[in-house]
Amino acid sequence: MVTFIPFGERPNREGVLYARKLLEKEGLLSGDVNTVDARNPETLDRLVPSDCCYVIGEHLATYSIVGRLRPSSLISVDAHTDLMHDYLDHGSWLAYSLEERRVERAVVIAPVLMIPTTRRTELWTRRVRIYPALPRTRKTSRGWKSYCNLTNHGVGGVVEDAVGYLGKDVYLTVDLDVLRPEYRIARFQHGELTLDELLELLGEIVRTFNVVAFDVAEVSDRIKRSRAGKEALIEVFRLLMGG
């Protein structure tokens, strides 16, 4: 069964409802299809079903999904780490999922924005590894050290390191803002990947890991006016559904 969660502000809600119509038109929805309508995480925690596939609006919905499924490990493909640790929202859902043990370990692949937005904001760093899209460095007790990243290490190098950290069974969440601006999907900042690069990464993840369930996140109403965005959603969904 596929569950659609039109969660968040109006653009995200309308985007998810449009995504359902688009995927139905493409013949990619078969069997039971469910829509869960909730306006806050507390309600969504109660209503979200156990499923294998979710299409969601605001990424905060993944916090409720993993609260239901309780996966041991999680992969987030995202332009942002979502590891801010000030209050629960779409920029901190992963930090709080780790803190509350909704998931034990996580990796974030392809982020380009990793720095807290204010001096008061802390970045959660425990039980998570970050694999940026572009070369980045971090400060350690032994000086500055480079992250394993997609540009220098390739998809194979990143996935090989991630499977050694996470094990085989994972929940996968794909934030479509990981794509470049020309896809016109995300409402805010975009990532650095082309659709071909994203599909290569997801294909390697699917071949290497046992993906127990997945979601496609941050679908907004901008997709209605974006041919490239529609294609991206269709191709990502098709790949992850095994089509």
For 181, phi and psi rounded to 5 degrees?
-60, -30
What is the token pair recorded at 133?
């899209």
CA 113 to chain centre: 14
> What is the CATH classification number for the domain harbouring 215?
3.40.800.10
Instruction: Give residue 187's pLDDT.
Output: 75
Instruction: Give residue 118's pLDDT.
Output: 54
> What does the alpha-carbon distance between residue 30 and residue 94 come to, in Å, rounded to a whole number?
30
Q: How many domains does the chain have?
A: 1
Task: Please calculate the CA angle 39-171-207 and round it to the nearest 5 degrees.
Answer: 140
The pLDDT-based confidence of 113 (bands split at 50, 70, 90) is low
74-84: average pLDDT: 94
Tokens 């650095």 belong to residue: 192
Instruction: Give residue 51's pLDDT.
Output: 93
- 93: pLDDT strictly greater than 80: yes
- 239: pLDDT strictly greater than 70: yes
- 115: pLDDT strictly greater than 60: no
CA 151 to chain centre: 20
Using alpha carbons, select from 162, 173, 163, 90 the residue that is nearest to residue 129: 162
Where in the sequence is the domain holding 30, given as residue range(s)? 2-240
Q: What percent of the chain has pLDDT over 70?
A: 95
Query: Side chain identity at 28, as an amino acid letter?
Result: L
- 15: pLDDT strictly greater than 90: yes
- 153: pLDDT strictly greater than 60: yes
Dump pLDDT digits (tens) for 174-196: 999 999 999 988 777 789 999 99
